[in-house]
Structure 1
Amino acid sequence: MKFLTTNRVARAALPTTPERGADQLVRLAEGRPGTDWRSGEYYAKRRPGKRLNRLALDTDLARQLWEHSEALPA
């Protein structure tokens, strides 16, 4: 932790305030689907992500995760 808080380069990579950290979520929550953002897209730094992990597009894996989540106790 000390490295992250004292190293200038490491600090630049981390959000410095709660407002900055929540910026992307607030923008998406307040925006309009289809106008300000597209459903199903991954966003980073207010822009659609360029590189997606191949597992993010795996429909069988998504189905398994959904089924596993449904089976968990409430």
Structure 2
Amino acid sequence: HALESYVLNPKLMSSKTNLPTFITFIILVFGEHFLGVWGLILGIPIFIFFLDLVGVDSAQQLSKKETSAD
């Protein structure tokens, strides 16, 4: 369980949400601490909702970084 929740989940979720792995790991740690298992399930969607609410588009920032690196 520890391997899955602290290694695999952050890596898989960061690739799907275009968030850095470290940020995803921090979200999962805080989510588990405050909400238990529900925090592991709902932590990432809640964080993405708040990013959308604030107006931050992580996919757009990622594409800007890729085009500027080329």
TM-score by length of 2: 0.29
Bigger fraction of residues in helix: 2
Structure 1 length-normalised TM: 0.28
Q: Which has the larger radius of gyration?
A: 1
Higher strand residue share: 1
